[in-house]
Structure 1
Amino acid sequence: MDDDQSLPPRLTRLTFHGPLAEDRATRIVDRLTRVAPPATVLDIGCGWGELMLRVLAAVPGARGVGVDLNATDLARGRAAAERRGLADRVEFAEESAVGTFRGPADLVLCLGASQALGDQSPPAHIPAALEALRGLVTPHGRVLFADGIWERTPPPERLAAMWPDASADELPDLPGLVDLAVAAGFRPSWIETASLAEWDDFESGYQSDAEDWLAAHPAHPRAAETRARLDAHRAGWLNGYRRHLGMAYLTLTPSL
């Protein structure tokens, strides 16, 4: 059995599990807390819940729940909450978000986690997630929804270098995503997209722990497997979705 201490650490170089820079995160938290501070926050597919924790820190007395199936990420979130004095105001729940009873909340976060709300295949996963989110937010609350879009339609050779069975019709463009949100019963109060620099920082951070581990452990029994995984991911990024795959951040309010 492998000693976990001898394996690559997991995503420690990432602050957020997605292409999100510090300055954008600061602006988002300010926008979500300054005008109408939420009393309750629900984070779907929360991972370690970094943005949720920042919202709670900005709104004394607010309470949050993060839902995810990854026990390692949830433990990281709990440890961060303890360090920041937020442990008594947040719960990290290891459970599925499909049909969750955790709402409604004043603020619902769903950051790159539309798949956590159902088992629909693309492109049906996004409208299904938006429909579920509409039922999880209070009437005067807000949803921060982040999901993939095509910044530009990828040509066949780019699609072939991405993930298995990648297709041009599995994601909308930005106008299409906003239209889906409106059709689900929302109004977009803020629309923004991740920059190329945010994507490059995220992808580099996603690989960095394992690359440094590989350099220090070239003869480890898992080295060849790790090298192959890193090479495949990097090729998919640089030869496939870089400059084509985008991430939209939509701040949504329910239509009344």
Structure 2
Amino acid sequence: MTAAPADTPPRLTRLTFHGPLSEARATRLVERLTRTNPATVLDIGCGWGELMLRLLTAAPAAKGVGIDLNAEDLARGRQNATDRGLSARVDFVKESALGTARGPADLVLCLGSGHALSEAEPPTHTAEVLRELRRLVADGGRVLLGEGFWQRTPTPGELSGMWPGASAEELYDLAGLVELAVAAGFRPEWIETAGMAEWEEFESGYQADAEVWLAGHGDHPLAAETRERLDRHRRAWMSYRGVLGLAYLTLVPTT
């Protein structure tokens, strides 16, 4: 991973996964998802593709492709692949996932990256993402979908503190999300959700490096911009904490 210059805020160095995912859950996911001996893995909105790299390590005959638009994250993924002796079996590609022809793959990962597959507005967005995932997975394969859902209906006050334009209609509850997956041509092999400890580990790790940097660089030219960004994100997290959930759905395509 390329480090940020010493006089600028570091970025995401405290995170192993770009999402609320514990080591214990990741280990269980890798074990479950490699039972079918996938030969091809496609990671949509991969970031640095940590879970994909672990899957490739556990499935030595498999090859992987991760697609994303963030060059810095892709570079981190390539470096991690090289460090683990996986560079010959994985490609990190900077491109859009909209309408991608990269499938079908035996295993498709889409972890918090549904926005990369559809530009539709809610509530049709989630259904379109699931239809795209069904198109991208081979018969007999698996999809691991990490998707947001409401743990309870958010109040107007909570919504006003979240991301711009947040609405109660934007996400489904867990039952509604699973039913959408079934309607798109899947059966749910496994339904699980991120716990509070996973959320707190992720959200704190997401901010921690820059928070520590800011504490010691209050007169830096980037200080005001960094403070505003950190404060905005923390306040949003405090608004969706305990309200926004993340489901990890292991989906089997129907034929």
TM over 0.5: yes
Give CA deviations for 1:39-95 in whole Å, capped at 9, x if unaligned.
Answer: 100000000000000000001121000010110000000000000000000000100
More moved, 119-128 vs 65-74: 119-128
Per-residue CA deviation, residues 93-150 of structure 1 (Å, 9 max, x unaligned), is: 1001111111110000000000001211222221111100101111100000011000
Q: What is the CA-CA distance between 1:216 and the residue it aligns to?
A: 2.2
| Structure 2 counterpart of 1:236 | 236
- Aligned partner of 1:21 in structure 2 is 22
Q: 1:8: Cα distance to partner?
A: 0.9
Question: 1:224 maps to which residue?
Answer: 224
Alpha-carbon deviation of 1:163?
1.1
Q: For residue 155 of structure 1, report the CA deviation from its aligned partner.
A: 0.9
The letter of the residue matching 2:14 is R
* Alignment correspondent of 1:137: 137
Opposite residue 214 of structure 1, the aligned amino acid is: L
- 1:4 is displaced (CA, Å) by 4.2
Q: Secondary structure at the match of 1:6?
A: coil
After superposition, where does 1:1-256 map in structure 2 within 5 Å? Answer: 4-33=5-34, 35-238=35-238, 240-256=239-255
CA distance in 1, matches of 2:75, 2:123: 32
- Measure the CA separation in 2 of the matches of 1:123 and 1:211: 35
Q: Could you tell me how far apart the structure 1 residues matched to 2:165 and 2:98 are?
A: 25
**Unmatched segments (≥5 aa) in structure 2:** none
Aligned-partner residue type, residue 241 of structure 2: R
Q: Over aligned residue pairs, what C-alpha RMSD do you find?
A: 1.0
Report runs of 4+ in structure 1 exceeding 4 Å deviation.
none
Q: Secondary structure at the match of 1:10?
A: coil
Percent of pairs with identical residues: 66
SS at match of 1:14: coil
Q: SS state of the match for residue 198, structure 2?
A: helix
1:154 positional shift: 0.7
Aligned residues: 252
Q: Whole-Å Cα distance in 2 between the matches of residues 88 and 122 of structure 1?
A: 39
Alpha-carbon distance in 2 for matches of 1:5, 1:130: 42
Consecutive unaligned residues in structure 1, runs of 5 or more: none
CA distance in 1 between partners of 2:70 and 2:125 (Å): 20
Distance in 2 between residues matched to 1:194 and 1:127, nearest whole Å: 21
Letter in 1 for 2:131: E
Matches of 1:153 and 1:50, distance apart in 2: 32
TM-score, with length taken from structure 1: 0.96
Q: TM-score, normalised by structure 2?
A: 0.97
